[in-house]
Structure 1
Amino acid sequence: MKEKSFTPHHFSFENNIMFNQASSSLIKTKNGAGFTLIEVLTIVGILIVLIALSIPALRFFQKESDLNNSAEEIINTLRIAQNKTLASEGASQWGGYFTTSTSPHQYILFQGSSYQARATSSDEIHKLPETVEIYEINLWGGNEVVFERVTGHASSTSQFGKVTIRLKTDISKAKTVYIENSGQVGLTSPTIPSEASRIKDSRHVHFDYNQSVQEAVTLHLIFPDYPADNYDISFQDYLNIDKTEFDWEGIVLVGPEGNKTEQKLKIHTHSLTIFAAQFCIHRDRRHNDKALNITLDTENLINYTGAGEESKGLSSWVGEPQRQ
């Protein structure tokens, strides 16, 4: 029997290309791989929107970080000043000085018993970030704190001072650094010891005024219910020669005609420097029954109701009144 020979089937070149293309198409469809141009553009667009939405939040968190870091750096700087004092570095005291007269605001670690008498060659200047500002300086009537040798206490007879910083773009975000008389520095408000043996009320209040008053002209006693009885005090007449102390005491008749009553007041300073002052007002409600606003030139310092309740003045330089 004659055997039949087997002849293999041959594909043409064109058929081979078509076969490969079809196979590739089948594989891509089967695996689901690859993206269309529209899909890629959609994803990129979504990413751009998400990034744009996150930028304000990132900026806010950066500003809050600036605020928190600035507060910690102030604390660390004051502790360094205290440690340098305790170590008698340079055989001197050390302290910190805060100023709002520069841009940005800054604070300075200095060597000396006061900023004015410091060794300027030892100054270490710390500038706050552009996003942060010093809102309040309440350091016992001045802008500086100096630590005592041996004890490390703050050089003040008051219980504590404080410096408050805040964000420029969100003033509700603030940090206060407290400096206790004992030398303790931190962000926690000190607990004031109870003085049960002494009653504190509005008869005797202190408040800080963080501006120079040495060239002030007039202290106005304004009685809002009886403006005709307003009384002006020449500030310069009651300053001492060195302009480091103010002391006035007097009686003003206030009320309707034929029924005026005496208003007895004493106003003086506990401290007065070229930078600031701490005022003290004695106003016993037994001898004062008329509402009173006290203003220095154009700055409202403190206000009283007829019942004797005190409130902080409108001036941005005034601290909260403290009952004694």
Structure 2
Amino acid sequence: MNKSGFTLIELVAVIVIFVILGAAAIFGLRLFQNKNRVDAAAQEIVAALRLAQNKTLASEGNSSYGVHFESDRFILFSGTSYIAGAPGNSEHLLDSWLVISGINLNSSGITAVVFERLTGNTANAGSITVSLANDALEYETIYIDGSGVINLQAGGASDSDRLKDSRHVHVIYSQDTQSAANLVLNFIDDAFSQNINYQAYLNPTKTEFSWQEDITVAGVVQQLSIHSHWLTPTSTTFCIHRDRRYNDKALQINLDGQNIINYTATGTTTPGTSVWAGEPEAQ
């Protein structure tokens, strides 16, 4: 007589399959989380370096600026050399999962990148590597050349041959944005503006800004995202996502009347007219 149902062996086999699939999913999730941790830290280091360079070029405080590196932190400082504990130092501790595993600047023992006034060049060219504390194979490297160009690449290879475009742009704005009020998107060819309450998209400590929205302009939806990589009382690095596949309108982005960045309809970027807005950096 035939009986329907599962045998014990079949049940065990099914359980084993589910266990294997679950373990694979957890492993994949951990890999993804680890990569994101390393990438976020590397982006923060790049933002700190660009902020130091921008503050130097702006002659803020009539001083040069630099970034000092240790295994578990990096510090933005003013002056031509790093002084531990100086009042103006801005220290950033890495997450316990992470470590600055390589400080390879042009001279042995050098642990800081300092930018030169007027040119933004540096005599401290080289590379900084950030990795997982328990897995040195999961890392990203930041390259700084003598002309002040700063590049980031996973896996340690230079990204000089990587195709970059304007869908993901960083802009340093050397002013206090913690008290800013109005972010305005001007779609200049369509005589349309979108006003954004800047304060509503700051976190409670006013150290992060994050906004994303679909905006209909002349019947066409535009998909935009703006957030901060670095936000302090003196400067903000804005990260702007404007994918040309979903945006076809010329755009000006202004903050409290200061023009930060401009886009043509085809996505070409030009610097904002504000004296505090840096050069757009395609990522």
The question of 1:316 aligning with 2:278 is answered no
Residues 58-207 of structure 1: pairs in structure 2 closer than 5 A: 97-98=77-78, 109-112=82-85, 115-116=88-89, 152=103, 163-166=115-118, 174=119, 176-177=121-122, 182=127, 187-190=146-149, 192=151, 193-194=158-159, 199-207=163-171
CA drift at 1:188 = 3.7
Query: Equivalent residue for 1:7?
Result: none
Q: Tell me which residue corresponds to 2:258.
A: 299
Gaps of 5+ in 2: 1-62, 93-98, 106-111, 129-142, 152-157
Structure 1 residue 219 and structure 2 residue 183: aligned? yes
Against the structure 1 CA distance between its residues 218 and 163, is the aligned structure 2 distance closer, same or farther, given a 3 Å change threshold?
farther
Count of matched residue positions in the alignment of Structure 1 and Structure 2: 189
Identify unmatched segments of 5+ residues in structure 1: 1-73, 87-91, 99-105, 119-139, 141-147, 155-159, 167-173
C-alpha displacement of 1:97: 2.7
Distance 1:238 1:114, change over 3 A: farther
Letter aligned with residue 233 of structure 2 = I
Identity %: 34
Superposition deviation, residue 189 in structure 1: 3.9
Provide the aligned C-alpha RMSD in A. 4.0
- Post-superposition Cα deviations, 1:140-187, rounded to whole Å, max 9, x if no partner, equal 9xxxxxxx9985579xxxxx9774523xxxxxxx56336557369885
- Which whole-Å deviations, capped at 9, do the CAs of 1:52-72 have from their partners, x for residues lacking one? xxxxxxxxxxxxxxxxxxxxx
Aligned-pair CA distance for 1:322: 1.1
Instruction: Check conservation: 1:94, 1:111, Cα contact below 8 A.
Output: no
- Which structure: larger Rg? 1
State how far apart, in whole Å, the 2-side matches of 1:218 and 1:116 are.
Answer: 30
Aligned residue number for residue 204 of structure 2: 241
Residue 207 of structure 1: how far off its partner (Å): 1.4
* Separation in structure 2 between the aligned mates of residue 185 and residue 219 of structure 1, nearest angstrom: 32
1:231 and 2:190 matched? no
Q: Is the 8 A contact 1:207 1:320 kept in 2?
A: yes
Summarize the Cα distance change of 1:211–1:161 in structure 2 as closer, same or farther, 3 Å threshold: farther
**Structure with greater proportional helix content:** 1
- Aligned to 1:314, the other structure's residue is in SS state coil
Q: Distance in 2 between matches of 1:164 and 1:240?
A: 34
Which amino acid in structure 2 is aligned with residue 209 of structure 1?
A: Y
TM-score between the two structures when normalised by the length of structure 2: 0.55
**Against the structure 1 CA distance between its residues 150 and 285, is the aligned structure 2 distance closer, same or farther, given a 3 Å change threshold?**
closer
- How far the C-alpha of 1:276 sits from its partner, in A, is 1.0
> What do the CA deviations read for 1:267-297 (whole angstroms, capped 9, x no partner)?
0011111221111111111111110000011
Match of 1:274 in 2: 233
Q: Distance in 2 between matches of 1:285 and 1:276?
A: 28
Please report how far the alpha carbon of residue 233 of structure 1 lies from its aligned counterpart in structure 2 after TM superposition: 0.4
Structure richer in strand, relative to its length: 2
| Distance 1:272-1:253 versus aligned 2 partners, 3 A rule | same
- The letter of the residue matching 2:189 is D
Residues 270 and 246 (structure 1), Cα distance of their counterparts in 2 relative to 1, 3 Å cut: same
**Matched residues in 1 for 2:150 and 2:206: separation?**
34
Q: Which amino acid aligns with 2:127?
A: S
CA shift for structure 1 position 203: 0.8
Aligned to 2:214: 251
Counterpart amino acid of 1:204? H
What is the one-letter code of the residue matched to 2:117? I
- Rounded to whole Å, the distance in 2 between the matches of 1:263 and 1:149 is 39
CA distance in 1, matches of 2:66, 2:217: 49
Question: 1 CA distance for matches of 2:195 and 2:205?
Answer: 23
Kept in 2, the 8 Å contact 1:95–1:111? The answer is: no
Checking the alignment, whether the CA contact within 8 Å between 1:93 and 1:111 is kept in structure 2 is no
Is the CA contact 1:250–1:266 (under 8 Å) kept in the aligned structure 2? yes
Q: Against the structure 1 CA distance between its residues 161 and 243, is the aligned structure 2 distance closer, same or farther, given a 3 Å change threshold?
A: farther
